[in-house]
Chain A
Amino acid sequence: MSDKAKSIKETSRRQFLADGAKAACGAALLGVAAGFGASQVGASSQVFVRPPGAGLDSDFLASCLRCGQCVRACPHDALNVAGLFSRTATGTPYFQPRQVACEMCEDLPCVKACPSGALDPELTDVTKARMGLAVLIDQETCLNYLGLRCGVCYRSCPQIDKALTLDAQHNQRSGKHTLFLPKVHSEHCTGCGKCEHSCVLEVPAIKVLPRDLAKGELGHHYRLGWEEKAKKGESLIPEAFDMPDRMPEVILPTLPEVKP
């Protein structure tokens, strides 16, 4: 084979290898793009909770620099940086209360570390933080709903008796006991996740959700009569005619006589 033919063969082999590699690279790029899509679609249903002062994600994603200084500042290593294939925006801080809950440091080191104001610097009282909202999401497995006296979430709540109360209710199943039902009060719950972290079940029955996901909203024209009454000090409507109470007559069934 002449030198020229050799060089042509060499070139075409190179060309072939290079073309193949280029196609592979293009395919790999598409694969990475598809991976992004898959991570959006097929990932776990894990909900992420943001550090104190983050507010709603719609604003947080506009202001967060994704620098990770809050994550470094967290003395309890509760905060993580979201990875590339994470369900939440990559580089943003989050925590998973079931792993490590927020310890609600009074000096708010994460907020102080934030350079961009994405964690609101006006938040100075950690009890005013609204990282999320605890929701007793599964009443079927919650031990207190089953009639037991667990209440671990209640006792682990840093805002005990304010953010989380136990409401007594008649146990209809046994007919003679009391259920102590955990109830979250959104005006006090910071979303620290101590309840979710401490829930004794295999999968917690109480979970911290983003507030916009967890919270309902009353019709704006709704008024709660008892609150309006308390505000005014008396009923808003003038005393109406007091009609005599008439109770429905109770007709007792006559039992058939049973002969022994």
Chain B
Amino acid sequence: MKWLILRRISQGMVLGLFLLGPLAGVWLISGSLSGSMLLKVLPLTDPVVFLQTLFAGHHPAATALAGSLIVISFYLVVGGRVFCSWVCPVNIIADSAAWLRGKIGIRGVLFFSDSSRYWLLAMVCALAFAFHSAVWEMINPVTIFSRGIIFGLSGAIVVGFTLFFFDLLLGKRGWCQICPTGAFYSLLGYLSPLKVIASDRERCDQCLACYKVCPEPQVLHGPLKEKGASAVIRSGQCTNCGRCIDVCPHSVFEFGNRFTK
């Protein structure tokens, strides 16, 4: 449970930090997850939104460019999709829908291939280019949900419930399977050094506890089961959520760096 609790604290702190301004008048950070200014000096920009403005033909301003590079560098170090599991508020919805799905035994209807999120990312860029506008931001549930919470807009409730029922009934972690923001961060994840390692895989007794909780179970198979393969979960699709470490009864997994073995 350790990593799960830490993740919830992290997700809560991110939203809490943004809400501290409007609710308590303490402006440590201004803006939203799309773009913000931390302590009045450090710009942060959602790289996928930034990418859209580039494809839309906008000449970028220095602040947004710097903010984007800072965010990209951060996730390059800690692991691309760390955003998905430690920061993104949609993760709380995805996790609770997946949990309820398991409880009441709903089987998936929609299955998305691993590559669909990358295709969607490509489509997002193509749309921006074709329409000279950040078109995806009209419906991007990730930014609409977080912005809605921070600015107290009713759209957050609509998007929140839509995502919850989409994930609950139509596909296991359905949104996260196709999310273009996650796609961008998973590309960073293919380079980042911080990885989960199945270091004690010989202790694995095939109980499948990790497969059940893992949001991207396809990344487990090679490192855990294939003879001669590296025990490092190198796939960028791994979100470094640490759930496998939490649930494995034999302590097979641990955090480490990608260069081990």
Q: Judge whether A144 is part of the interface by a CB distance below 8 angstroms.
A: no
**Chain A residues near B (Cβ < 8 Å):** 14, 18, 21-22, 24-26, 28-29, 32, 36, 58-59, 61-69, 71-73, 81, 83-85, 89-91, 113-118, 121
Q: Which residues of A are found within 8 Å of B109, using beta-carbon distances?
A: 22
Task: Give the distance in Å from the alpha carbon of A89 to the alpha carbon of B34 in the complex.
Answer: 15
Q: Which residues of B are found within 8 Å of A22, using beta-carbon distances?
A: 109, 169-170
Measured CB to CB, the closest approach of chain A to B210, in angstroms, equals 26
Check B35 against A116 for contact (C-beta < 8 Å): yes
From the candidates A14, A21, A91, A121, name the one contacting B143 in the complex (CB within 8 A).
Answer: A91
Measured CB to CB, the closest approach of chain A to B188, in angstroms, equals 19
Interchain residue pairs with CB less than 8 A apart (7) = A29-B170, A63-B53, A63-B56, A66-B134, A66-B137, A72-B31, A115-B63
Task: Give the distance in Å from the alpha carbon of A61 to the alpha carbon of B169 in the complex.
Answer: 34
Q: Judge whether B250 is part of the interface by a CB distance below 8 angstroms.
A: no
Q: Which residues of A are found within 8 Å of B143, using beta-carbon distances?
A: 66, 91
Task: Give the distance in Å from the alpha carbon of A205 to the alpha carbon of B34 in the complex.
Answer: 38
The A-B contact count (CB < 8 A) is: 147
Measured CB to CB, the closest approach of chain B to A238, in angstroms, equals 51
Shortest Cβ-Cβ A-B pairs, 10 listed:
A84-B155, A67-B35, A117-B61, A62-B56, A63-B58, A115-B63, A61-B133, A25-B169, A69-B31, A116-B64
Check A115 against B169 for contact (C-beta < 8 Å): no
Q: Which of B132-189 contact A (CB under 8 A)?
A: 132-134, 137-139, 143-144, 147-148, 150-151, 153-155, 158-159, 162, 165-166, 168-170
Q: Which residues of B are found within 8 Å of A81, using beta-carbon distances?
A: 147, 151, 153
Q: Which of B113-143 contact A (CB under 8 A)?
A: 128, 132-134, 137-139, 143
Which residue of chain B has its CB nearest to the CB of A61? Answer: B133
**Chain B residues near A (Cβ < 8 Å):** 21, 27, 30-32, 34-37, 43, 45-46, 49-50, 53, 56-61, 63-64, 67, 104-107, 109, 128, 132-134, 137-139, 143-144, 147-148, 150-151, 153-155, 158-159, 162, 165-166, 168-170
Which residue of chain B has its CB nearest to the CB of A11? Answer: B105
Q: Which residues of B are found within 8 Å of A64, using beta-carbon distances?
A: 53, 134
Q: Which residues of B are found within 8 Å of A18, using beta-carbon distances?
A: 105-107, 169
Check B35 against A65 for contact (C-beta < 8 Å): yes
Measured CB to CB, the closest approach of chain B to A215, in angstroms, equals 21
Q: Which of B32, B59, B166 has the most CB of A within 10 A?
A: B32
Q: Which residues of A are found within 8 Å of B56, using beta-carbon distances?
A: 61-63
Q: Which residues of B are found within 8 Å of A115, using beta-carbon distances?
A: 31, 35, 37, 43, 45, 61, 63-64, 67
